[in-house]
Amino acid sequence: IPLTAEEISFIQSLICPKLKRDVEKSYRERNRGWMYELIANERNGLDVDKFDYLLRDSRALGIGDIRMRIKRIMNNMEVHGNEIRFPEKVAFDIMKVFQM
């Protein structure tokens, strides 16, 4: 897939925001900062990378309930300005994910 230099820079900034703070800043100024929380969430650590390795590790260890917890968390994510927020009803699920 051919990508422009701008698209490549954006993807790089999603993966490692520290290396591309200028790109991240421009997206946050346009209320698009929440996209950074999907890939590399520096605010609370809940991102697709964490979910991926938790699912992989839980499968290898035979822990079954984590998949449903992650699905419930993801289904209840809400975008508020530049942040992804979670309603109180998934607080227990989030706590269990961090105990893994």
pLDDT digits (tens, 9 = 90+) for 5-60: 999 999 999 998 888 888 888 988 898 989 999 998 888 889 999 999 899 998 88
pTM: 0.80
CA atoms lying within 13 Å on the CB side of residue 54? 21
Number of domains in the chain: 1
CA angle 91, 24, 29 (to 5 degrees): 90
Separation of alpha carbons 99 and 25, rounded Å: 32
E-strand ranges in 8-99 read 78-80, 83-85
pLDDT tens for 54-82 read 999 988 888 777 889 999 999 999 999 89
CA atoms lying within 13 Å on the CB side of residue 11? 6
**Structural domain of 43:** 5-99
Say how many C-beta atoms besides its own lie within 10 A of residue 47's C-beta.
17
The SS3 of residue 32 is coil
- For residue 93, the model assigns a pLDDT of 93
